[in-house]
Amino acid sequence: MHTPLPLTADLVLLGGGHAHALVLLGLAMRPVAGARLTLVSPDPVAAYSGMLPGHLAGHYRREDLEIDLVQLARSAGARLILGRAEGIDLATRTVAVPGRPPLAWDVLSVDVGVTAALPDLPGAAAHAVPAKPLERLAGAWAAFLGAVRERQAAPRVAVLGAGVAGVELALAAIHRLRADGARAPEVTLVEAAPTPLGGLSPTGRRRVLDALARAGVRLSCGTAPAAVEAGGLLLADGRRIAADLVVTATGARPQPWLATSGLAHVGGHLAVGPTLQSPTDPAVFAAGDCAHLLHAPRPKAGVYAVRAAPVLLANLCAALAGGPMRNFRPQREFLRLVALGERRAVAEKWGVAVAAPWVWRWKDRIDRRFIARFAPRPAMPAPPLPRPATRDLAAELAGGRPMCAGCGAKAGPAALARALASLPACSRTDLLSGPGDDAAVLAHGAGVQVLTTDHLRSITADPWLMARIAAVHALGDVWAMGAAPQVALMSVILPRMSERLQARTLAELIDAATGVLAAEGAGLAGGHTSLGAEFTLGFALTGLAARPVAKAGAQPGDALVLTRALGVGTILAAGMAGAAPGRAVAEALAAMALPQGAAARLLAPQAHAMTDVTGFGLAGHLLEMMEASGTAASVALDALPLLRCAEGLAAAGHASTLAPANRAAVASRLKAAPGVDPADPRLSLLFDPQTCGGLLAAVPEAAAAGLVQAIVAGGLADAAVIGRVAAGPPELEVTAHTAAASRPASASSASGASESAASVVTGAP
């Protein structure tokens, strides 16, 4: 029997720069046994700097230049913490990441890049966009182009800094504005020095200046900017340059907190020796633009980060496992490829420069080859089944897909129903209700106490985030009963790890769980821990209510309010297959971590019935409410709030391993109204298991719109009215459009809807 190897050391990578992306790629192919790998990045993707000018010029889509850190971290077995590091404590060996407890490390590597922001220039923070970080500029550029197309902004751009980066951005901007049909675009380069392009040879500078002149880019040298204003730039000589977008590209400035980290630095850039280790602490490494090579100072350029990556990888492994270190010897000169906006580029090295379309094609091949290294790998084929094996084992393995986590790992609704049918009745007189509702209800003074328990297979490698999600998920049953959370016990199964890592992990779990619970007025009273094959986390909870809100009680004419978007199970399943974009996975996890107590407190006083949508999907939990209430319901596909990419991933065939059982459990009670497209992927999302799913409440029609507005204002932006309750037997009609959802669910049978219409909903995805 295989026993997982224990985790014994924490390797933390700060920043998703090019060097760290390549280190993750290497660790995905050859991990260090016993190391827990953590990547800290403010964004779920990292933009490749070499292709950014081409993206601004319109030659590449945004996703063409993005390294998906979510997928990369998953392939490397790393936990990804989405946050911006703000400090290092060498004494405690921790990193400060706002919003969470200090992150412990045994070996630390820093690749946080630089910024082009100008904090000392008046107005720059409010009215300018720095060229770095790249993700911010890409987003601002898309918004600016949209405003120009809508005639809400003039096609005027000013770029501060006429180095290579600034020139590339200026040429890309004017090319794109003209390609988009902008009328009389104006792009101005502002350089405080008397001459631009100081890093190029005279020949290379002449080639690029010729391209600027041909493109019509205005060049202002020798005068520094004095302020950035809402409508452009004020220069030190009193001149004003009109601009609706101002970009700062005046050089690489280090992140300010590096200089206060206690580590040796040069001008705020972390000092490192030949092995890329800090002379202050050999357990700290640095690479990329945030590092200064003491043995071989070089200008800040992405080529050095890429070349340093193999040495950094080898030395991080040596620091963890022992062994000799390697030295990094950067080349003295490197090939500069300067994009000229159109599909032309300048190649410059050793004082020789060439400008031609073939240079751009050469650069394009180099850039695409680099970014292709991070493309998702094809899923490994499932290993053959051992022999002998039972006849139905292959079918149970669902085509070789790994079992989903979160609520996607629940037992199927049919199996659970059979088990609960044999549950003996409880003789206690203070138990007012047991199986069938979201929580057990016990008599408690003048009111009631609700009791529930829930646990999840981990859906993220980040224990802190997983604890928030698990706490919010478990609280859902208390909120759905209209109760105020009271006290919780935590049950934890940790993967095998050393005592030091156990203590670190439990501290993260407790911090996250107590934060969620305390915000609801509840406390964590203890729990139970054990070590096992995988990370699993759950809570037992109590809550108090004057009047519980049950699943029963929905009335014909009620509106159905859902507080959270659907698609969690589909996105997580696609993420396991490497098919879900990292942004979509990150947004789904962030949505799951949002508490719903405020929404529950708005809904409970007016709800006739309420539940939460979890493992059995919207259709399953809504039909439970209808069965308990003796009513029918209708939902409209165009009213369903959906997470980013959920519909597209469902259309591509991605689904949780629990979805087929959810579909089968409700097949006989679903009807599709005329006009519902059998191929509509939103149909399959009715059966999608939700971890931390939304609250589902039947409320008076007159109150629904106001409740949704208040819930959205409280932070749950996806809340919506998705359908209606109607008289009739417990069944669910699915309509294509919102207006049709006002019809009674039984109207489809009254109007002669066929069984083939019902099969639209109940057939295989």
Q: Which residues carry out catalysis?
A: 407
Query: Cα–Cα distances in Å, from 246 out to 118, 140, 181?
Result: 12, 10, 20
- Which is nearest to 25 in space by CA: 362, 313, 402? 313
What one-character-per-residue DSSP string does 77-132 give?
A: T-EEEES---EEETTTTEEE-TTSPPEE-SEEEE---EE---TTSTTHHHH-EES-
Among 12, 20, 11, which Cα is nearest to 111's?
Answer: 20
Chain position carrying tokens 């770029």: 159
- C-alpha to C-alpha distance for 326 and 320, rounded to whole angstroms: 14
Tokens, residue 598: 């405020």
**What crossing angle do the helices spanning 568-576 and 69-76 adopt, rounded to 10°?**
60
Name every residue whose Cβ is closer than 8 Å to that of residue 48 and which is 6 or more positions away in sequence. Answer: 18, 65, 66, 67, 367, 370, 371
Query: Cα separation of 64 and 368, whole Å?
Result: 8
Phi, psi of 559 (to 5 degrees): -90, 150
Nearest-angstrom CA–CA distance, 554 and 630: 8
Q: Which two tokens stand for residue 121?
A: 């220039």
Find out whether 585 and 649 touch, Cβ atoms under 8 Å: no
Burial of residue 251 (number of CB atoms within 10 Å: 0-12, 13-18, 19+): middle
Q: What DSSP assignment string belongs to 579-599?
A: -S-HHHHHHHHHHHTS--HHH
231-239's contacts with Cβ under 8 Å and 24+ in sequence apart are: 232/156, 232/158, 233/158, 233/160, 233/190, 235/190
Structure tokens at 668: 């006989």
Tokens representing residue 384 in the block: 């053959």
